[in-house]
């Protein structure tokens, strides 16, 4: 334990104790509408966003790219708004810590200002809630929050700090020992090592395989296990498919990459059909860090339930959840993958026949089918052409963030990312109105990267549009690409047999570039395909947040599927 601050016990306001504790963990950024006035702004930026839902999502994006817990301070009045961020973090296993003003115990039940069952609301979507009644315990509870958030399966934490910020609680100046445990400032803070017997069982299964493959989930990126996954895949000549959230676990231009799985993009123009073919055609499937959810497994058909499953996951609750599992390994993904590689190298392992030719053939077919849309010159623009232009500006320094709905389906299917925290989509909740705040947080967690954010017009209008002003105020230079199709396309697609039902159409002609300029960002409207490339280049070169409003054909897209 390294004490970053004097641990002799000193009297100060609780907010100052907490700010000093955060500094010791290496936190570089705090989101929230509750300001800690004496926080050292030279070490921690405070981002005062507009909506607590967005704040929680910014904390999620920050956690993904920085590898540190995202911090949100919360005024009690914003409790109802924070649920979305907690839910996204809970389902996506992201460590965020919400420091909330809790109600003074003696006021409970009196209809006090903003009184609400805060803990009751938050309980189902948190890993742990610390109810801090004695304010002098707040720094110790924050240290506990960091330990719990960053070990095992990461997840969201709430500290309900009773009476803080309240005029009825004069004793907010308390004596406390203030120090930090910086080893819990990043995650995974301590890696759970695999049981050698579990590794041995898994290796026996992998050795017996004729056509093995790997399906990598979000757990690979959370464990930063990119090199270990690549080493194992190359050693075993295992094709690697990723789940939607797992996109970025493996370099997608690698000859062993089968690309992303996912029901929403496995038909028509979707690249998911490649992963689907490869994974279904495998006799042994090694699952790594995946919840085997409905979306990524195409309703639990990919992998085929008859294949032999090996599952490596830090959470024993996920192993065997949906698939009859021959060998389970409870471990951190980095530690588990390294152990598998070591054991295969030490044993008499012969790699099976390589399947890179099979992958290449499927990929060539997919490119051929996408040639037309990629070169399309029609206006309104075909989304396939937009994807072509986005691919030209993406490189190893790009982080792609997407809102839910068709933008995320195109993003997952039609882009190729490097290994790393390079792709973020809100698949914890699947909620629209999440992309922009995730992107703002992602940029703050990785200021040197280019962040491109795909947004639906419907997604922006859910209420996150004002966060463009947040990005402008703090100079957070994200590039927002709006899929402006004038409709809630995915929902409309579900009811297309009812042509007279038009509630899913938006007011026609909304110009998001103008709205962006009003909110102090740069805005570029694109109606012709030929204008896409210069607009994207200009946006990415700008030091200001820039919105590229792309007028898309509302009738072109993926068949419905969430």
What residue ranges bind Mg ion (CB under 5 A)? 456-458, 485, 489
**Min dist. Cβ of residue 482 to Mg ion (A):** 9
The CA-CA-CA angle for residues 252, 452, 255, to 5°, reads: 5
Place of tokens 């020992």: 177
DSSP lists the bridge partners of residue 309 as 285, 325
- Annotate 334-354 with DSSP letters as a single string: HHHHHHHHHHHHHTT------
**Min dist. Cβ of residue 202 to ligand TPP (A):** 37
Stretch near ligand TPP under the rule CB under 6 A, chosen from 31-39, 136-144, 429-437, 473-481: 429-437
**Is 16 in a helix, a strand, or coil?**
helix
Residue 459 interacts with, from Mg ion, ligand TPP, none (CB under 5-8 Å by kind)? ligand TPP
Total count of residues recorded for the chain: 562
**Min dist. Cβ of residue 133 to ligand TPP (A):** 35
CA 129, 294, 461, 270 torsion-angle sign: positive
Residue 431, interface with ligand TPP (CB under 6 A)? yes
Element (H, E) at 467: helix 467-473
Residue 425, interface with ligand TPP (CB under 6 A)? no
Dihedral pair phi/psi, residue 472, rounded to 5°: -65, -45
**Min dist. Cβ of residue 437 to ligand TPP (A):** 13
Q: Which is nearer to ligand TPP, 157 or 295 (CB)?
A: 295
Q: Are 464 and 51 in contact (CB under 8 A)?
A: yes
Residue 405, interface with ligand TPP (CB under 6 A)? yes
**Min dist. Cβ of residue 432 to ligand TPP (A):** 4
Residue 487, interface with ligand TPP (CB under 6 A)? yes
Residue 430 interacts with, from Mg ion, ligand TPP, none (CB under 5-8 Å by kind)? ligand TPP
Closest C-alpha to 400, from 423, 416, 431? 423
Residue 491, interface with ligand TPP (CB under 6 A)? yes
Q: Which is nearer to ligand TPP, 279 or 480 (CB)?
A: 480
Residue 404, interface with ligand TPP (CB under 6 A)? yes
With CB under 6 A as the rule, give the number of residues binding ligand TPP. Answer: 19
Q: Which of 31, 366, 408, 483 binds ligand TPP (CB under 6 A)?
A: 483
User: Which residues are CB-contacts of 371 (< 8 A; sequence separation ≥ 6)?
Assistant: none
Instruction: Identify each DSSP E strand in 341-469 by its residue range.
Output: 398-402, 423-424, 450-456
Question: Is residue 441 classed exposed, middle or buried when 0-12, 13-18 and 19+ CB atoms within 10 A define those classes?
Answer: buried
Q: Which is nearer to ligand TPP, 257 or 434 (CB)?
A: 434
Q: Which is nearer to ligand TPP, 62 or 512 (CB)?
A: 512
Mask of contacts with ligand TPP, 435-464, x by CB under 6 A? ---------------------xxxx-----
**Min dist. Cβ of residue 265 to ligand TPP (A):** 14
Phi-psi region of 420 (alpha: psi -120 to 50; beta: other; left: phi over 0): left
Sheet of 70-74, strands arranged across? 45-47, 29-32, 70-74, 96-102, 157-162, 128-132
Q: Are 182 and 26 in contact (CB under 8 A)?
A: yes
**Min dist. Cβ of residue 381 to Mg ion (A):** 13
DSSP structure class, residue 192: P
Q: Are 454 and 407 in contact (CB under 8 A)?
A: yes
Q: Which is nearer to ligand TPP, 281 or 491 (CB)?
A: 491
**Min dist. Cβ of residue 544 to ligand TPP (A):** 24
Q: Are 290 and 219 in contact (CB under 8 A)?
A: yes
Distances (CA, A) of 472 to 1, 54, 484: 39, 15, 21
- The two three-digit tokens of residue 441, written as one number: 């947080």
Binders of ligand TPP among residues 325 to 384 (CB under 6 A) are none
Residue 489, interface with ligand TPP (CB under 6 A)? yes
Q: Which is nearer to ligand TPP, 80 or 347 (CB)?
A: 80
Residue 406 interacts with, from Mg ion, ligand TPP, none (CB under 5-8 Å by kind)? ligand TPP
**Is 48 in a helix, a strand, or coil?**
coil
Q: Which of 32, 485, 532, 550 binds ligand TPP (CB under 6 A)?
A: 485
Residue 243, interface with ligand TPP (CB under 6 A)? no
Place of tokens 């809790």: 102
Q: Which residue is nearest to ligand TPP (CB)?
A: 456
Q: Which is nearer to ligand TPP, 238 or 483 (CB)?
A: 483
Q: Which is nearer to ligand TPP, 487 or 546 (CB)?
A: 487
**Min dist. Cβ of residue 301 to ligand TPP (A):** 22
DSSP structure class, residue 256: T
Stretch near ligand TPP under the rule CB under 6 A, chosen from 157-165, 187-195, 198-206, 402-410: 402-410
DSSP structure class, residue 552: B
Q: Which of 406, 422, 470, 479 binds ligand TPP (CB under 6 A)?
A: 406
Q: Which of 432, 478, 513, 547 binds ligand TPP (CB under 6 A)?
A: 432
Query: Furthest-apart CA pair in the chain: how many Å?
Result: 72
Rounded Cα gap, residues 298 and 171, in angstroms: 55
- The two three-digit tokens of residue 38, written as one number: 């004496």
Q: Are 61 and 439 in contact (CB under 8 A)?
A: yes
**Min dist. Cβ of residue 383 to ligand TPP (A):** 8
**Min dist. Cβ of residue 165 to ligand TPP (A):** 30
Q: Which is nearer to ligand TPP, 67 or 373 (CB)?
A: 373
Q: Which is nearer to ligand TPP, 415 or 487 (CB)?
A: 487
Q: Which is nearer to Mg ion, 92 or 489 (CB)?
A: 489
Q: Which is nearer to Mg ion, 81 or 489 (CB)?
A: 489
Rounded (to 5) percent helix, strand, coil in the chain: 40, 20, 45
Stretch near ligand TPP under the rule CB under 6 A, chosen from 15-23, 73-81, 334-342, 487-495: 487-495
DSSP structure class, residue 505: B
Q: Contact positions toward ligand TPP, by CB under 6 A?
A: 404-407, 430-433, 456-459, 483, 485, 487-491
């Amino acid at each position: 334990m390294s004490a970053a601050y004097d641990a002799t016990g000193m009297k100060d306001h609780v907010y100052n104790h907490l700010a000093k504790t955060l500094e010791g963990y290496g936190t570089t950024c705090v989101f929230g509408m509750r300001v800690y006035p004496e926080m050292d702004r030279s070490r921690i930026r405070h981002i005062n966003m507009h909506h607590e839902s967005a704040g929680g999502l910014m904390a999620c994006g920050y956690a993904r790219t920085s590898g540190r817990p995202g911090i949100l301070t919360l005024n009690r009045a914003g409790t109802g708004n924070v649920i979305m961020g907690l839910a996204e973090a809970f389902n996506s296993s992201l460590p965020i810590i919400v420091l909330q003003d809790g109600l003074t115990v003696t006021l409970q039940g009196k209809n006090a200002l903003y009184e609400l069952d805060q803990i009751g609301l938050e309980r189902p979507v948190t890993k742990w809630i610390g109810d801090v009644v004695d304010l002098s315990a707040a720094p110790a509870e924050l240290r506990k929050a960091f330990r719990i958030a960053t070990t095992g399966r990461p997840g969201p934490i709430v500290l309900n700090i009773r009476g803080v910020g309240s005029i009825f609680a004069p004793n907010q100046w308390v004596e406390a020992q203030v120090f930090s445990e910086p080893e819990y400032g990043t995650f995974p803070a301590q890696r759970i090592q695999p049981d050698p017997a579990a590794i041995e069982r898994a290796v026996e299964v992998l050795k017996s395989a004729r056509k093995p493959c790997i399906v990598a989930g979000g757990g690979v990126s959370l464990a930063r296990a990119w090199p270990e996954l690549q080493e194992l895949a190359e050693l075993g000549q295992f094709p690697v498919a990723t789940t939607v959230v797992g996109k970025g676990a493996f370099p997608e231009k690698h000859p062993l990459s089968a690309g992303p799985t996912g029901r929403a993009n496995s038909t028509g123009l979707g690249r998911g059909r490649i992963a689907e073919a490869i994974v279904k055609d495998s006799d042994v499937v090694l699952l790594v860090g995946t919840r085997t959810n409905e979306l990524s497994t195409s309703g639990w058909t990919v992998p085929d339930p008859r294949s032999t499953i090996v599952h490596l996951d830090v959470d024993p609750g996920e192993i065997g959840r949906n698939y009859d599992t021959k060998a389970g390994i409870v471990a951190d993904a980095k530690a588990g993958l390294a152990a598998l590689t070591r054991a295969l190298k030490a044993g008499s392992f012969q790699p099976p026949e390589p399947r890179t030719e099979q992958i290449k053939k499927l990929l060539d077919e997919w490119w051929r089918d996408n040639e037309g849309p990629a070169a399309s010159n029609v206006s309104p623009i075909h989304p396939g052409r937009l994807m072509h232009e986005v691919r030209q500006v993406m490189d190893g320094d790009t982080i792609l963030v997407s809102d839910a709905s068709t933008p995320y389906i195109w993003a997952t299917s039609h882009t190729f990312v490097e290994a790393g925290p390079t792709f973020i989509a809100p698949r914890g909740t699947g909620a629209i109105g999440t992309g922009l705040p995730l992107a703002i947080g992602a940029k703050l967690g990785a200021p040197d990267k280019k962040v491109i954010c795909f947004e639906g017009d419907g997604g922006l209008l859910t209420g996150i549009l004002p966060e463009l002003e947040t990005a402008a105020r703090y100079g957070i230079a994200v590039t927002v690409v709006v899929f402006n199709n004038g409709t809630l396309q995915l929902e409309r697609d579900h009811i297309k047999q009812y042509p007279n039902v038009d509630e899913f159409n938006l007011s026609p002609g909304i110009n998001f570039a103008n709205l962006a300029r009003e909110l102090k960002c740069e805005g570029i409207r694109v109606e012709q395909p030929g204008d896409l490339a210069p607009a994207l280049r200009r946006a990415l070169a700008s030091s200001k947040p820039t919105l590229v409003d792309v007028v898309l054909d509302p009738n072109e897209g993926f068949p419905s599927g969430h």
